[in-house]
Amino acid sequence: MPFNYDLNFDEIDFREQPELYRVGRGEQGVLLVEPYKSEILPHWRFKTPDIARESSEKIYVMFLDYKAKNDFVGMDMARKFLQMGYTRARRYTNYKGGRKYDEDGKVKERQNDPVKAESAAIFMEKWKQARTDKEYLEMKKDHQRKYG
């Protein structure tokens, strides 16, 4: 089931109402779902490999903490932030300043920033760990079966 953007996200605490959460595709809703966004976002950084390593490790520890609390929504949100760390670092790898399009709406020429590429690889590793975690996959299936 797709992520439901029709909800009033300002009024929902998804920890209290996990039945309203939909996994969606990829990173959908990553900056909307509270209280998780506010818990994870301050730790999300990828400017350099050292910063990306610290960030991805912290977010992965949060993933494991949510898992220990049997909090699927928290696990999925941490997984989404790890995925977003990878995709955004890749965007900055390919396009200086992270902007794919110029002022005229034309795609800029791709570049290769090896520092951002390393940051992306660091996030990719933690993202893979999260998305293949057996308990996460079981909880995801269960959540989708119960709530869509």
Q: Using the 8-state DSSP alphabet, how is residue 110 labeled?
A: P
Domain range list for the chain: 9-147
pLDDT (tens digit, 9 = 90+) per residue, 88-130? 999 989 888 788 888 899 888 888 889 999 999 999 999 999 9
Is-contact 122 56, C-beta < 8 A? yes
pLDDT (tens digit, 9 = 90+) per residue, 32-53? 999 999 999 999 999 999 999 9
Of the ranges 14-18, 54-58, 97-101, 135-139, which one carries the lowest mean pLDDT score? 97-101
Please give the helix or strand (H or E) that residue 45 lies within, else none.
Answer: none
117: its two tokens = 């590429």
